[in-house]
Amino acid sequence: MPRSKRSSPGGRRSQSGAVLYIALIMLILLALIGIVGMQVAGMQERMSANYRAVNVAFQSAEGVARMTECGIEDLVNQTSTSGCPTVTPNQVCDDDFDPVSWVEDQNMAMISSVNSRLIGPCISGNTTLDMGRPINEDPNPIYQITAYATDAEDLNPTVGITRPGPTSAAAIDTIFRP
C-alpha cells in the first residue's frame, strides 16, 4: 500500500523562514538605534566641551578684572598687596574709548588683556562740556575696567587636554570704585 504524502505541522515543508527575516530586521533596527545613540552622545560631548571652554574663558576674564581691581586699590590706597599687579590706568576719560570695538581688536593669540581708565571726572562733570562741577574726585575715584581673556590657561598638558589653541574668548566691562 502506498503511503500518502502528508506534511505534519512541525515538518520541514510547512516552515517558511519568517522568523529569520524578523530577527534580521530587529538586528538592523537595534544597530541603527546604537548608531544614533553614539552620534547623540558625541554631539553632547562636543556641546559640553564648548560650554566648558566658554566658562573657563569667562572665569579667566573675571580673574583678570579682579586682579586689576586689586592693583587699582593698591594704587589708590598707596599700598602693596602681594599678588596684585602694578596698574597704571589711563587718566584721560574723554578718549572715546569703546569697550566693544576694543574687544573686537583683540585676538585669540592674546591670552588676556586689560584696559583700565579713570572715569570719575567724566561722570561728575569735569569735562569740556561743563555738565557741572566735579564731585568726589579724589576721595572716591571711579574706574572702568575692561578685561579680555581666552580659555588658553585650560590648555595645561599635565591635565591631559590636547587642543591646538584657545577656542573661546570672553570680555567683561566693569565699573569699580575702590
- Three-state secondary structure string covering 17-84: CHHHHHHHHHHHHHHHHHHHHHHHHHHHHHHHHHHHHHHHHHHHHHHHHHHHHHHHHHHHHCCCCCCC
Residue 100 within any structural domain of the chain: yes
Residue range(s) defining the domain that contains residue 58 = 20-176
What is the C-alpha separation between 58 and 122, in angstroms, rounded?
29
Report how many domains make up the chain: 1
What's the alpha-carbon Rg for the chain, to the nearest Å? 34
Residue pair 175/147 in contact (Cβ under 8 Å)? The answer is no
Residue 76 within any structural domain of the chain: yes
The pLDDT of residue 37 is above 70: yes
Instruction: Say what percent of the chain tops pLDDT 70.
Output: 75
Phi, psi (degrees; rounded to nearest 5) at 46: -65, -40
pLDDT of residue 17: 77
What is the C-alpha separation between 57 and 165, in angstroms, rounded?
13
Residue 80 within any structural domain of the chain: yes
Contacts of 33 (CB under 8 A, 6+ apart): none
Q: What is the pTM of this model?
A: 0.69
pLDDT of residue 69: 93
Residue 52 within any structural domain of the chain: yes
For residue 92, name the pLDDT band (cuts at 50, 70, 90).
confident
pLDDT of residue 121: 76
Phi, psi (degrees; rounded to nearest 5) at 162: -120, 110
Residue 81 within any structural domain of the chain: yes
Residue 121 within any structural domain of the chain: yes
Which cell is 155 given?
A: 590648555
**What integer best gives the mean pLDDT of the chain?**
82
Residue 58 within any structural domain of the chain: yes
The pLDDT of residue 134 is above 50: no
Phi, psi (degrees; rounded to nearest 5) at 115: -130, 120
pLDDT of residue 1: 55
Residue 6 within any structural domain of the chain: no
CA 114 to mean position of chain CA atoms: 18
